[in-house]
Chain A
Amino acid sequence: MQTGTIKIKIKLQPGWICMLVTTGCFLLALLWFSHARAGTDTASFSTWFVDMSQYADAAHASLKCEECHGSMTDREPAMGIGLRKNHPDSKSVDFLKTQTKRNFDYQVCQKCHKIAYSRFVKGEHAKAAFKEKTIGKPSEVGFAPTCGDCHSAHYSKSHLTRVQTGKMMTQTCGACHLEQKQSFLANYHGKAAVNLEYDKAAFCSDCHGAHTMLSLKDKDVVLNACRRCHSDATPEFASIIIHDSTKNLDVKSDTKKSSLKWVHLMRALSLFFVIAVLVFFYMHTGLLMLRKLHEKLRRHK
């Protein structure tokens, strides 16, 4: 068999092999961590059933059903705080059409959680609930939340760390306030706190209060919130925009609304500049490389 002999130019040296193997391992490690770590699960809706094994692991494990829900035969207020009947009426028009959370009387939580309840009653969410009752329909954001909308009474665990609580809070609050959640996660605070689990960064409740749910439209309230961590903050510091998105502008103060327009204008300009420069120089380099390669190939004898 006649076969020509070709000089193989690539020599597989041990150095190359080592480097390739190391790079491969590093890339594999990166891929391993690439699955997005979901926050702790909160049930987006409650079902008719209670998972008793999860209930046993949760904070209310020592409580019996009747202590919050009243006994099976109760038709009247039994605990003195106005509990309703336990089961919906199968004959009523609304049967199986309303959410259980809207029908449960969460005043029963006050029995143990006195401070949280009293703070909640003073906050924005309670105000929204009152408004909803007077108008008769929910706001654009959704139903005004009560205890059960943010806390799962059956499955909430106790003694979570600051970061765990914070991450869960981001998902819970974000379920109704989606824009704010997204803009929070695009901001330094969100990235450091939620993604990088940096203890010192702020979560939702650090600025907005845990149950009081402060509206941060007023500049003094904002400054007070910032000073919780940034003790040197001047009044103008409160003008820095955290939730930087163009939707849901009604909750912002007027100054922030107009500053936001400038911010996005400068952002668009700088992005345009960057893209223009890159496009021009990439084309320049690409074409120049082709031309030089062509020259080199012609010179090669």
Chain B
Amino acid sequence: METRINSPQTFQRFHILHRILHMVIIFNFTFLAISGFLLHFSGFGWARFLIALMGGAGAAGWLHRFCAVFLYFGILVHVFWLIYYKMVLKQNFCGPDSILPGKKDVKDLFQNLRYVFNKGTPPLFDRFSYLQKLDYWGELLGMQSMGITGLILCFPEFFAGIIPGFFINIAGYFHFYEAVLAVMYIGVVHMSDTHLAPDVFPMEKAIFTGKIEKQRFMEDHPGEWKRQQMINDQKLL
């Protein structure tokens, strides 16, 4: 998706649909994490208090499944949009704007590590940095595995007819450990990368407002900025 020019200072980075979907993710992820971990850590007093607030074990279970379905629905909307993007808007999935991982991302990672140890300059990102791509793919793929293991745990009678019984035990462990990974990653890595970065602290608003400031655009996504400028120059010519 290209960015359109709104005013001399800000540029449109995210379409309204993406912003809504991100809000859907935030809302559902939070409640999924809370209701899920409250069951797992139900041995503790504070967990029992919070479950009581939610309306008991049955209600918490219902909330967990509802949010899972809601979140998956969001992913389906995103997939439909992808189809729309390719078929109707006739855009390319690959290219510099792409969210697909590539060789440049691996190079950027190593360059970033060299920069950390004061042995080089920071990498120049295009539309999406490698961490942002990780966020996207982590969510998309993670949702598939969490969804499948969640479904197995939700309908064990049905799945026991298809897969061996102990797979359901394995699904239980995968579901829990992946939940831990997701929460620990989002809570620390994603939050640091977006909000705690010293230049944007206390909060990065682009995913919510859809607009990115010129300064941030030039510093965080210089590759895309250059291409944007070249297109503008061509238009002027």
Co-assembled chains A and B? yes
Contact of A234 among B49, B157, B181, B188 (CB under 8 A): B157
The verdict on A281 contacting chain B, using a C-beta distance below 8 Å, is yes
Interface size on A, residues (CB 8 A): 56
**B2 nearest CB across to chain A (Å):** 28
Binding-face segment, A109-117, A202-210, A256-264: A256-264
In contact, B185 and A277 (Cβ under 8 angstroms): yes
Choose one: B39, B42, B166; the contact of A263 (CB below 8 Å): B166
Query: By the criterion CB–CB under 8 Å, are B45 and A198 in contact?
Result: no
Contact between B188 and A282, CB atoms less than 8 A apart: yes
Q: Which residues of B contact A292 (CB under 8 A)?
A: 197-199
Contact B45 A37 (CB under 8 A): yes
B164 touches A239 (CB 8 A): yes
- In the bound complex, how far is the Cα of B196 from the Cα of A237, in angstroms? 48
Q: Is A93 an interface residue (CB 8 A)?
A: no
B115 close to A291 (CB less than 8 A): yes
Instruction: Tell whether A197 pairs with B43 under 8 Å between CB atoms, given A262-B170, A274-B180.
Output: no
Judged by a CB distance under 8 angstroms, whether A100 is at the interface is: no
A32 to B44, CA, bound (A): 12
A156–B161 alpha-carbon span in the complex (Å): 43
B51 proximal to A (CB < 8 A): yes
What residues on B are CB-neighbors of A33 within 8 Å? 45-46, 48-49
Flag if A191 contacts B43 (CB, 8 Å). Answer: yes
Q: Cβ of B192 < 8 Å from any Cβ of A?
A: yes
Closest CB of chain B to A271's CB: distance in Å?
A: 6
By beta carbon, the residue of chain B nearest A232 is B157
Tell me, in angstroms, the Cα distance from A290 to B177 when the chains sit together.
29
Q: Contact check: which of A241, A274, A291 meets B166 at CB < 8 Å?
A: A241
- Chain B 34-53 residues near chain A, CB threshold 8 A: 39-40, 42-51
Question: How many A-B contacts if CB must be within 8 Å?
Answer: 143
- Residues of chain A within 8 A of B173, CB atoms compared: 263, 266-267, 270
- Give complex CA distance A290, B116 in Å: 8
- Among A35, A196, A256, A290, find the residue whose CB has the most chain B CB atoms closer than 10 A: A196
Q: Smallest Cβ distance from A295 to chain B, in angstroms?
A: 8
Known contacts A260-B166, A262-B166, A282-B188, A234 near B160 by CB under 8 Å: yes
Q: Are B165 and A259 in contact (CB under 8 A)?
A: yes
Q: Could you tell me if A259 and B49 are in contact, using CB atoms closer than 8 angstroms?
A: no
Interface of A (DSSP majority class): helix
- Chain B contributes a number of interface residues (CB within 8 A of A) equal to 50
A185 to B39 Cα, complex, angstroms: 11
Chain A residues numbered 242-301 whose CB sits less than 8 Å from any CB in chain B: 244, 256, 259-260, 262-263, 266-267, 270-271, 273-274, 277-278, 281-282, 284-285, 287-293, 295-296
Hey, which chain B residues are within 8 Å of A200, CB to CB? Answer: 58
Contact A259 B166 (CB under 8 A): yes
A287 touches B48 (CB 8 A): no
Given contacts A237-B160, A266-B174, contact A196 B48 (CB under 8 A): yes
Would A238 and B49 count as touching, CB distance under 8 A?
A: no
B42 and A236 form a contact (CB under 8 A)? no
B79 contacts chain A at the CB level, 8 A cutoff: no
* Bound: A239/B164 CA distance, A: 7
B38 to chain A, nearest CB (A): 9
B:128-184 near A, CB below 8 Å: 153, 156-158, 160-161, 164-166, 168-170, 172-174, 177-178, 180-181, 184
B57 touches A197 (CB 8 A): yes
B164 touching A236, Cβ below 8 Å: yes
Q: Does A34 contact B (CB under 8 A)?
A: yes
Question: Is A192 engaged at the interface, CB distance under 8 Å to the other chain?
Answer: yes
Contact yes or no, B48 A270, CB < 8 A: no
Interface residues of B in 4-35 (CB under 8 A from A): none
Q: Which A residues from 28 to 52 make CB contacts under 8 A with B?
A: 29-37
A230 on the B face (CB < 8 A): yes
**Bound CA span A284–B96, Å:** 25
Q: Within the assembled complex, what's the spacing in Å between the Cα atoms of A274 and B142? A: 12
- Interchain CB contact under 8 A, B165 and A240: yes
A78 at the interface (CB under 8 A from B): no
Whether the Cβ atoms of B184 and A278 lie closer than 8 Å is yes
Q: B185 contacts A230, CB within 8 Å?
A: no
Within 8 Å CB of B101, what residues of A?
Answer: none
Q: How far is the CA of A271 from the CA of B47 in the complex (A)?
A: 23
Seed contacts A281-B188, A284-B189; 12 additional CB < 8 Å A-B pairs: A191-B42, A195-B47, A240-B168, A259-B164, A259-B165, A259-B169, A274-B178, A278-B181, A281-B185, A285-B189, A291-B116, A292-B197
- Which A residues are closer than 8 A to B by beta carbons? 29-37, 185, 188, 191-192, 195-198, 200-201, 230, 232-234, 236-241, 244, 256, 259-260, 262-263, 266-267, 270-271, 273-274, 277-278, 281-282, 284-285, 287-293, 295-296
